[in-house]
Amino acid sequence: MQIVNTVQALRTLIHTWKAAGKRVAFVPTMGNLHAGHCQLVTAAQQHADKVVVSIFVNPTQFGVGEDFDSYPRTEAQDQEKLQAIGADLLFLPSVEEMYSPTAKTVVSVAGLSELYCGASRVGHFDGVATVVCKLFNMVQPDVALFGLKDFQQLTVIRTMVNDLNMPVDIIGIDTVREASGLAMSSRNGYLTPEQRQTAPLLYQSLCAAREAMVAGLDYMSVEKNALSTLQNAGFQPDYFHICRSVDLAPAQQGDTELVLLVAAKLGKTRLIDNLYFTR
């Protein structure tokens, strides 16, 4: 596996691959890699000849008081994992390499970015869209893979790619879960042992809501019951919403392609999860 730290070195290598007719897949990450990230890389190998992985903790998607400074950084271990699963190239840029001090451009997906996580994390999805747009311009991938755990993020990225006519195929990969059902996340490391016992209830609340919907319970009651369950278990819910999976608009009783979105704090740790299905 090759490692580069500059855009120039990245482009030089990828230009060589493209000139040789190689198809390039891209997996952007913020590091602290777990089995979910590794599954993205493994899936990427099925879609391309070469796989590029980036590790960059993006400051523009963190708000005031969020965990940018404390976000887990494990570059040595990450490199070992990527080497073991056969990634071809690791792009490991600095903040200075990614952002000019005079940069003035922000990519914003209007409407979607203000919903749900965007309502409580103001500017978050502008930071996500901007850095992903920049990375796509740097890597020039044929295909990019993202985990479905952050369903809203994936929807924002797909919308940006479509709106800006970017020649990148976006593939979503199913969430990897711990044995308890808890979605794998770098932020799970913030949980105390006691909180880890409680955290799987987040996914259980999604499964219970789906069952209630299939049984015919009205959507407002499903959302209300889920929020109450989480609160009683010690969570501080941010939201629990039933949405259309295509555009994340609030679902109506007649909609069939659905996604349940939830975000809640457990102690100081903010957890998100989702469950999409056809009714």
Q: How far is CA 30 from CA 72, 182, 201, 210, in A?
A: 9, 20, 26, 31
What was the pLDDT predicted at 253? 84
Q: Examine the domain organization and report whether 154 and 213 are in the same domain.
A: no
Q: Examine the domain organization and report whether 134 and 212 are in the same domain.
A: no
Q: Examine the domain organization and report whether 67 and 158 are in the same domain.
A: yes
What was the pLDDT predicted at 23? 98
User: Residue 192 belongs to what domain range?
Assistant: 186-278
Three-state secondary-structure class, residue 50: strand
What was the pLDDT predicted at 32? 96
What was the pLDDT predicted at 254? 87
Question: What contacts 58, CB < 8 A, 6 or more positions away?
Answer: 30, 98, 127, 128, 131
Total tally of structural domains belonging to the chain: 2
Interior CA angle at 73 toward 132 and 138, to 5°?
A: 25
Q: Domain boundary residue among 145, 173, 201?
A: 173
Q: Examine the domain organization and report whether 78 and 166 are in the same domain.
A: yes
| Catalytic positions, written as ranges | 37
Rounded CA-CA distance 247/255 in Å is: 12
What was the pLDDT predicted at 192? 97
CATH of the domain at 202: 3.30.1300.10
Q: Is residue 146 part of a domain?
A: yes
Q: Examine the domain organization and report whether 97 and 217 are in the same domain.
A: no
Q: What is the pLDDT of residues 221-259, one digit of tens each?
A: 999 999 999 999 999 999 999 999 999 999 998 899 999
Q: Is residue 178 part of a domain?
A: no
Consecutive 10-residue runs of the chain (279 residues): their mean pLDDT? Answer: 98 98 98 97 98 97 93 97 98 97 96 96 97 98 97 98 98 97 96 97 98 94 97 98 96 93 97 96
Q: How far is CA 123 from CA 48, 61, 83, in A?
A: 33, 7, 34
Q: Is residue 216 part of a domain?
A: yes
Q: Domain boundary residue among 113, 148, 173?
A: 173
